[in-house]
Structure 1
Amino acid sequence: MSGKAGHRGWGWIRKRSSGRFQASYIGPDNVRHFAPTTFELKIDAEEWLTQERRAIQNAISSLTPVGSSGTQLIWLSPSERLDLATEVNRETLEQYGKRWIEQRNLKPRTKIHYNNLLEKHICPKLGNVVVSNLKPAMVRAWYAKTLTDKPTYRAHAYQLLHAICDTVIKDELLERNPCMIDGATSTKRTREPVVPDIAQMSVIAGKIEKKFKALVLISAWCGLRFGEVIELRRKDIGVGCEIITVARGVTHRSTDNPAERCVISSPKSGKGRTVVVPPHIRDDIAHHLDTYVSAEPDALLFVPVRGGCHVSDRVVRDAFRLSCASAGVTGMRLHDMRHFAGHQTARVANLPETMARLGHSTQTASLRYQGQVSGRAVEIADQLSALADTTGGRLVISKCD
């Protein structure tokens, strides 16, 4: 058509008294829909109609099944898309961040951690800022005054904000990431782990309360994280105590929500693993099972003394500190036993085998499982026991997360 309202191949174009062109069409909902603006050139109006028709055809070709009632057309009219874009463009960082966390497939404890960082450390300063208005200067000002005494949490908060802004860019609400501070995603270690020698580790295990001896041995010689070892159950210990299956970990938080105080999920790496137990500690584990663990498959290896879901880290920490003092080791923490395990394993295993045993995540799955596939896991466990028969000096510290 030209000049007047009329029918064309698909849709309508009408020249207004202003000389501009107005485009419209009848949608799948049998309602006439108009372009959100008029066009100076007729060819631009035609292009808009072409894009709209293509969007409808794509929607029709991607019909979504809905139970037994047929299919559902996922299509938004021009006015609905404009309303949605307007709503998104006005979304604050707090609103966007909460939706960002909710829409991701995160482990429960990770989701809790992210929400805590967002609500307590990001939103107080930046929460009311419209995401499309977020500027590098705002981020720098926020970073300069946030968690300055807690560098690890500070880095976590910055990493979360950076990740959220990456998605904002993909949503075409920002052209570049406003998180541009060099080195803000990393932290320097504020404390070096205290790693005993083998003889001292033996004393620590021997002096601790008997009910925690197996906990120390498993942590030190199998490399389990504290949250993994206190979630171990009878069913996770193989026949003859030769194998430990690490399928879960637990995280405890101080919160008003009872459902969030004890969170059990997959291990930190996201995947479980099987650890071959060094022969020299198998009898101690078997004794622990016979003495302290009930017969049910789901019975915890380490029972909380005063109720609760798991043994308290404070209770174990107090007992551990006393046994360390007996061995002449000061300043050692529970997690330092994992550093001990990492170094001992590295003495008898290659890098992929060490990563597999300790449950470290890598970008290459074949590297992670190489040692297990080759059958070296049993040999590594035997060699760890051989190390225990020596009295090596103080070990060089290695980082094991």
Structure 2
Amino acid sequence: MVARVEDRWLSKKKDSDGKRKRKSTYGVGNRWMAIWDDLDGIARTKKFPTQEQAQAFLDDVTADKKTGTYVDARAGEKFIGDLLDQWFSASVHWKASTRNAAESDIRAHLKPQWKDWTVGAVRKRDVQDWVGRIDLAPRTVGTIHGRFLTFMSWCVEERLIGKNPAAKVRLPKGRAREHLFLSVQQVTALADAIDEHFRPLIWLLATCGLRIGEAVELRVKDLQLDRGRIRIERSVVFVKGGPPIVGPPKSGKARTVSVAPFVAKMLQELVQHRRGNDLVFTTVRGFQIRPNNFKRRQFDNAVTKVNAAAGAARGLGVKKPVTVPEGLWVHDLRHTAASWLVRSGASVKAVQRQLGHATASITLDTYAGLFDQDLDDLSSRLELMIRPVPVADAA
């Protein structure tokens, strides 16, 4: 069938007066109808108020067929619940931790809302309304929407829909939590307050900048302490009610980090009687450390002890005892490591490599404020280079 535009109101045949005959649909609905063949050969129609609009639509259909971007009208009739399962099954490239998080979001948020919708029926306003009704923290809402956005992008790639209705949706804004950077005195107090068994872990996190999932998956074979290095090849994620999921670090790439001599000595003493595949850090009973349990049972208690000791010291007349911020995260030790690296004179590239960021721009975006001192130092060095201090003044 050749694509064409048809007049729904008037026939091409004329009456005895020479006027075109009226059809039974005269005056009912839009007058002009575009008619074309779908990819499967089935005729499709769409009505428009003007002939020009109908012809413009047909021109777009013809162009889309030539470029391979045409979307079959029936494709949009598929149910999202079924498509979510297909998308999840097809995403074999995801890391195990990503698959677990996606499966959780699909089960808890995406299917309850969208499973009975056909993919072609979803409009941007529908997604906007859904996002506005999710009663969770802004960051969590953004994660859930991002999952649906990715799914809908897959639907576009599969030519089930022409464009992504989840794109450019307004998301709730939440104030990002500020990074906390501890001083050497604060980390020392925290390490002294925690159970001695976990003291090397505190110092490793605060000086090497490892993520907690990387640290608790370290094996003895990863330590290269004679060179002052540690190889980071894996990270672990713990799922409620399930086994630990071990995969590559967050960036997807292994890296080698530098370890301070005093921390290397701690680690050497810790693992001296262990074998290559044994864990470096364990619970007191010898099991792998679960980050959430560690924070609740060990880390938070250490924070409380430091601040309680500071309160007692004030009662004895000490003016400025060492305290640590309430609500401190274990991840703040990673931020602390970044701040110490910058203060020591490390370049952006060196900090990136140590922390395992995918790019130096991520390091700059995350810790831009820490490099302000670099700008001050730069101006001072330029001043000395252009206008050196006279010998007499220097004396």
* Pair 352,254 (structure 1): closer, same or farther in 2 beyond 3 Å: same
* Pair 363,338 (structure 1): closer, same or farther in 2 beyond 3 Å: closer
Distance 2:355 2:173 in 1: 22
Distance 1:272 1:235 in 2: 14
Is the contact made by 2:75 and 2:161 (CA closer than 8 Å) also made in structure 1?
no
Whether 2:236 is the aligned partner of 1:254: answer: no
| Aligned-residue offset at 1:346 | 2.3
Secondary structure (helix, strand or coil) at the match of 2:230 reads: strand
Quick one: which amino acid aligns to residue 133 of structure 1? A
Distance 2:173 2:89 in 1: 25
In the alignment, which residue of structure 2 is the partner of 1:388?
A: none
| Aligned-residue offset at 1:86 | 8.4
In the alignment, which residue of structure 1 is the partner of 2:87?
A: 100
RMSD: 3.1
Is the contact made by 1:169 and 1:175 (CA closer than 8 Å) also made in structure 2?
yes
Secondary structure (helix, strand or coil) at the match of 1:141 reads: helix
In the alignment, which residue of structure 2 is the partner of 1:313?
A: 292
Whether 2:179 is the aligned partner of 1:193: answer: yes
Whether 2:334 is the aligned partner of 1:352: answer: no
Whether 2:104 is the aligned partner of 1:116: answer: yes
The 5 A counterparts of 1:2-401 are 88-104=75-91, 105-146=93-134, 148-184=135-171, 188-189=175-176, 191-240=177-226, 242-255=228-241, 258=242, 261-290=243-272, 294-305=273-284, 309-311=288-290, 313-324=292-303, 325-326=305-306, 327-331=322-326, 332-347=328-343, 348-362=345-359
- Per-residue CA distance 1:119-140 (angstroms, 9 max, x = gap): 2112211221111111112101
Distance 1:203 1:307 in 2: 25
* Pair 183,279 (structure 1): closer, same or farther in 2 beyond 3 Å: farther
Is the contact made by 2:127 and 2:169 (CA closer than 8 Å) also made in structure 1?
no
* Pair 194,36 (structure 1): closer, same or farther in 2 beyond 3 Å: closer
Quick one: which amino acid aligns to residue 200 of structure 1? Q
| Aligned-residue offset at 1:35 | 5.9
Give the number of the structure whose alpha-carbon radius of gyration is greater: 2
- Per-residue CA distance 1:258-316 (angstroms, 9 max, x = gap): 3xx311111111111100112232212212223xxx52211011223457544453235
Secondary structure (helix, strand or coil) at the match of 2:131 reads: helix
Distance 2:227 2:264 in 1: 5
| Aligned-residue offset at 1:176 | 2.3
* Pair 195,188 (structure 1): closer, same or farther in 2 beyond 3 Å: same
Secondary structure (helix, strand or coil) at the match of 1:328 reads: coil
Secondary structure (helix, strand or coil) at the match of 1:124 reads: helix
In the alignment, which residue of structure 2 is the partner of 1:58?
A: none
Is the contact made by 2:80 and 2:114 (CA closer than 8 Å) also made in structure 1?
yes
Q: Provide the TM-score with structure 1 as the length reference.
A: 0.63
* Pair 174,185 (structure 1): closer, same or farther in 2 beyond 3 Å: farther
Secondary structure (helix, strand or coil) at the match of 2:88 reads: helix
| Aligned-residue offset at 1:317 | 4.0
Secondary structure (helix, strand or coil) at the match of 1:212 reads: helix
* Pair 309,284 (structure 1): closer, same or farther in 2 beyond 3 Å: closer
Q: Which runs of 5 or more structure 2 residues have no equivalent in the other structure?
A: 1-39, 44-64, 66-71, 307-321, 365-395
* Pair 359,186 (structure 1): closer, same or farther in 2 beyond 3 Å: farther
Quick one: which amino acid aligns to residue 335 of structure 1? H
Quick one: which amino acid aligns to residue 249 of structure 1? S
- Per-residue CA distance 1:301-349 (angstroms, 9 max, x = gap): 1223457544453235432233333252132121110110111122222
Quick one: which amino acid aligns to residue 92 of structure 1? F
Secondary structure (helix, strand or coil) at the match of 2:100 reads: helix
Is the contact made by 1:302 and 1:311 (CA closer than 8 Å) also made in structure 2?
no
Question: Would you say how many aligned residue pairs link Structure 1 and Structure 2?
Answer: 282
Distance 2:238 2:153 in 1: 30
| Aligned-residue offset at 1:164 | 1.5
Secondary structure (helix, strand or coil) at the match of 2:279 reads: coil
In the alignment, which residue of structure 2 is the partner of 1:10?
A: none
Distance 2:216 2:197 in 1: 12
Is the contact made by 1:245 and 1:274 (CA closer than 8 Å) also made in structure 2?
yes
Is the contact made by 1:245 and 1:273 (CA closer than 8 Å) also made in structure 2?
yes
- Per-residue CA distance 1:331-369 (angstroms, 9 max, x = gap): 21211101101111222222222111101122889x9xx
**In terms of mean alpha carbon deviation, does 154-163 or 165-174 score higher?**
165-174
Distance 1:144 1:185 in 2: 8
Secondary structure (helix, strand or coil) at the match of 2:214 reads: helix
Distance 2:78 2:198 in 1: 51
Secondary structure (helix, strand or coil) at the match of 1:344 reads: helix
Distance 1:139 1:232 in 2: 42
Distance 2:75 2:169 in 1: 29
Percentage of matched positions with identical amino acids: 23
